[in-house]
Amino acid sequence: MSQDIAAYTAPFAEVAHQRTVFPEGLALDCGATVAPLAVAWRAYGTLNAARSNAILVCHALTGDQYVAETHPLTGKPGWWGNVVGPGLPIDTERYFVVCSNVLGGCMGTTGPREPRAEGEEPWGTDFPQVTIRDMVRAQHRLMEHLGIGRWLAVVGGSMGGMQVLEWAATYPEAVGAAAPIATAVHHSAQNIAFDEVGRAAIHNDPDWRGGRYWEDGSLPARGLSVARMVAHITYLSEQALTRKFGRRLRGASALTFLEDVFEVESYLRHQGSTFVRRFDANAYLTITRAMDFFDLAAEHGGELAAAFRGASAAGTRFCVVSFSSDWLFPTEESRTLVRALNAAAANVSFVEIRSDKGHDAFLLDEPDFHRTLGGFLAGCAERLGV
Amino acid sequence: MSQDIAAYTAPFAEVAHQRTVFPEGLALDCGATVAPLAVAWRAYGTLNAARSNAILVCHALTGDQYVAETHPLTGKPGWWGNVVGPGLPIDTERYFVVCSNVLGGCMGTTGPREPRAEGEEPWGTDFPQVTIRDMVRAQHRLMEHLGIGRWLAVVGGSMGGMQVLEWAATYPEAVGAAAPIATAVHHSAQNIAFDEVGRAAIHNDPDWRGGRYWEDGSLPARGLSVARMVAHITYLSEQALTRKFGRRLRGASALTFLEDVFEVESYLRHQGSTFVRRFDANAYLTITRAMDFFDLAAEHGGELAAAFRGASAAGTRFCVVSFSSDWLFPTEESRTLVRALNAAAANVSFVEIRSDKGHDAFLLDEPDFHRTLGGFLAGCAERLGV
């Protein structure tokens, strides 16, 4: 593997992302300000005259704004093409769907691999550590720019779900409905530990060069690849891995003991090696840190319910979704969230979807989940006369 | 971290292990022969005149023969000092307890870091891939050397449990009783996947040098450290990690965003960095491969019960133990084993110990487990008049 991956030493192709630039920049939780602030975003469907049919989709750690169209780097379909589109649960014939690349990301929004300003050097390791709340603040700028006063709904899975919760906590009046999916109000010690393995692998790669790999166009591809491999295991249930691969061998007999002899190894290596062509290592470090530090209760004096009092008063409707075989964000984490929403007298429904696909289920074809989400959004739209 | 660990470039201290050398060597499953074969071992207690009180302890992946005494490299107590000793479940006042370093290991038994023969170069990457059955064959040589015809019991957890099962399958007449603990008849796709992450981290370390790091005294310390970190997470339950660390910060406030800010990160880094001082990277690769390829059913024409017909006929008594929070070798894997033992009409008892400590529970103070193991061995001894 190392040979293959080490060959990807050139930075990935430059893409002209659709962006909006805010020259005044953004003040961050850590005290620093990034200026200018660029937000790369995509939209699908048509904003109605009342501007009341807009849905914000928040992407996960390694997702981006290309939700429902061909990805400009990989050439693959959008990551939620089975959920967002005409006639789909997030119906682009009915809703105006917006998604922006997160602050700290690497697909056009201000982050470590973006120039500080037009024609300047990339931020690199000087990029300040951002929080999930900072990401949401950047999205709020875009919302103002688009002239939208209130989202019909804010929807997202995994880290996208953290942003959904942060929207409800920070801008409750702007959130008509919220669908936090396969997420939690903070990372567990185990989640932090797995992230730390990935970060250690990146830091250990000599091509990381203290984070200044971009200066001569190199990439810590091997470290980033290991980070992706370990993360990928946590996205699948043991059943899903076993069903996909079991202990099947790739042609060779066990006793030849070649590298890459189990199919699951080959698959993981492929996952790792394709990832490095589209994702920046410093962005990976920045975003995983943001997830690890996210702690909605701590932001509200240690009382989780306090985070949702505003949303409760604003009438925000919540639909919390978990998946039974998700061991990265287990159902128990969603129950904790639902208890806090109930304690804040918020309007909340909760569905645990039976699935054996693990955390990744929110990206896959899960008809029960799609019906749940589609029904929730349609109900919210109907209630608001959209 | 990388700075600290990179400083451990010198190979770890040489220790004069107690060894027995078999000049004729050992023919392996892969077709190769290693000759001479050295087996490093320790024993505790006294072999009785009838030679009927001998218990073989089989160690796990990163264990070794220093079961119940100070470790010569780390200076720490033996890894099963709470189980093996006077008055303990494996009572050295009653039993003669033997443990040998596994074939392919790095504490004196023939393996990648040992010289091919006295005064020669280490095997390094030329060391052939061994199997769990090869490890057991090497232990069988030691057994003959010690003049023991039948073990009162063979006992081991995790990879040690795989050896226990292989003993019962390969040398049933030599196994009076067998206690496979927190183990399985093969690795799951998820187990293989986590191992593959560790191996990729080692292979990616430029100091691995295609496995020839020993030639100039260097070490792939950073890769091995990441491998240890990810493995360590799988040894603990989420509850155990949370109880130990939760989301506690090390002094700093979250927004300083220093490296190593969560206690769990610091702990894992410490685990990784101490490990590289006592464990050889090529041995780690060799042994994890042996675990991944272990497949007791496949060795017996795809019928697991066939592996135990000999032990059933020989009257071997089995005590299968699992731990409720072990997600690396879940109880369900032990149930599969027990079903096969029952199908072979073997004498088997099965206990799931309630514990929230995860896979590592077999090494920790778990009174129910200790009572179970001690009682099982005492019953076997009594039955044989030991």
**Catalytic residue flag (residue B326):** yes
**Closest Cβ opposite residue A241 in set B193, B197, B257:** B193
Q: Is A14 exposed, middle or buried (0-12, 13-18, 19+ CB in 10 A)?
A: exposed
d(CA B181, CA B361) in angstroms, rounded, equals: 10
Q: What is the pLDDT of residue B5?
A: 42
**Using one digit for the tens of pLDDT, what is the confidence trace for A305-321?**
999 999 999 999 999 99
Ranking A211-225, A254-268, B211-225 by mean pLDDT, the lowest is: A254-268
Q: Is the pLDDT of residue A249 over 70?
A: no
Domain boundaries, chain A: 2-10+190-290, 19-188+294-383
> Of these residues, A17, A71, A186, A359, which one is catalytic?
A359
Ranking A14-23, B101-110, B150-159, B163-172 by mean pLDDT, the lowest is: A14-23
What is the complex's ipTM, to 2 decimals? Answer: 0.89
Starting at the earlier edge strand, list the strands of the sheet with B317-323.
Answer: B19-22, B37-44, B96-100, B54-58, B153-157, B177-181, B317-323, B347-353
**Using one digit for the tens of pLDDT, what is the confidence trace for A153-184?**
999 999 999 999 999 999 999 999 999 999 99
Q: Which fold would CATH assign to domain B19-187+299-383?
A: Rossmann fold (3.40.50)
Domain A19-188+294-383 maps to which CATH number in 3.40.50.1820, 1.10.3720.10, 3.30.70.20, 3.20.20.80?
3.40.50.1820
**Using one digit for the tens of pLDDT, what is the confidence trace for A339-380?**
999 999 999 999 999 999 999 999 999 999 999 999 999 999
B246: left (phi over 0), alpha (psi -120 to 50) or beta: left
Q: Is the pLDDT of residue B260 over 70?
A: no
Q: Is the pLDDT of residue A258 over 60?
A: no
Q: What is the pLDDT of residue A160?
A: 98
Task: Provide CB contacts within 8 A for B295, sequence distance 6+.
Answer: A247, A254, B185, B186
Identity of residue A302: G
Q: What is the pLDDT of residue B249?
A: 61
Cβ-based contacts of A190 with chain B (< 8 Å): 233, 238, 241-242
DSSP string covering A211-256:
GTGGGGT---HHHHHHHHHHHHHHHS-HHHHHHHHTT-BSSS-GGG
Q: Is the pLDDT of residue A231 over 80?
A: yes
Q: Is the pLDDT of residue A10 over 50?
A: no
Cβ-based contacts of B225 with chain A (< 8 Å): 200, 204
Q: What is the pLDDT of residue A1?
A: 33
CB A22 within 8 A of CB A36: yes
Q: What is the pLDDT of residue A215?
A: 87
DSSP state of B363: G
Across the interface, whether the CB atoms of A242 and B190 are under 8 A apart is answered yes
B307: left (phi over 0), alpha (psi -120 to 50) or beta: alpha
Cβ-based contacts of B233 with chain A (< 8 Å): 190, 193-194, 197
Cβ-based contacts of A289 with chain B (< 8 Å): 257
**How confident is residue B172, by pLDDT bands cut at 50, 70 and 90?**
very high
pLDDT, chain B, mean:
91
State which residue of chain B sits closest to A191, comparing Cα positions.
Answer: B238
The mean pLDDT value for A36-57 works out to 97
d(CA A355, CA A112) in angstroms, rounded, equals: 36
**How confident is residue A260, by pLDDT bands cut at 50, 70 and 90?**
low
State which residue of chain A sits closest to B256, comparing Cα positions.
Answer: A30
**Catalytic residue flag (residue B355):** no
Q: Which residues of A are annotated as a binding site for substrate?
A: 228, 360
Q: What is the pLDDT of residue A14?
A: 73
Highest mean predicted confidence (pLDDT) among A9-13, A227-231, B83-87, B116-120: B83-87
**Using one digit for the tens of pLDDT, what is the confidence trace for B355-382?**
999 999 999 999 999 999 999 999 999 9
The mean pLDDT value for A67-84 works out to 95
> Of these residues, B158, B312, B322, B325, which one is catalytic?
B158
Q: What are phi and psi of A291, to 5 degrees?
A: -65, -45
**Using one digit for the tens of pLDDT, what is the confidence trace for A270-293?**
777 778 888 999 999 999 999 999
The mean pLDDT value for B177-181 works out to 98
Q: How far is B174 from chain A (nearest CA, A)?
A: 27
Contacts across the A-B interface (CB distance below 8 Å)? 155
**Closest Cβ opposite residue B268 in set A193, A203, A230:** A193
**Closest Cβ opposite residue B2 in set A2, A192, A204:** A204
Among residues of chain A, what percentage have pLDDT more than 70?
A: 93
Question: Which residue, A144, A138, A140, A135, is CA-closest to A51?
Answer: A144
d(CA B227, CA A201) in angstroms, rounded, equals: 9
Q: What is the pLDDT of residue B12?
A: 56
Q: How far is B210 from chain A (nearest CA, A)?
A: 10
**Using one digit for the tens of pLDDT, what is the confidence trace for B310-335?**
999 999 999 999 999 999 999 999 99
Q: Which fold would CATH assign to domain B2-10+190-290?
A: Rna Polymerase Sigma Factor; Chain: A (1.10.1740)
B45: left (phi over 0), alpha (psi -120 to 50) or beta: left
Q: What is the pLDDT of residue A244?
A: 78
Ranking B49-63, B127-141, B176-190, B209-223 by mean pLDDT, the lowest is: B209-223
Task: Provide CB contacts within 8 A for A44, sequence distance 6+.
Answer: A67, A68, A69, A84, A85, A92, A96, A97
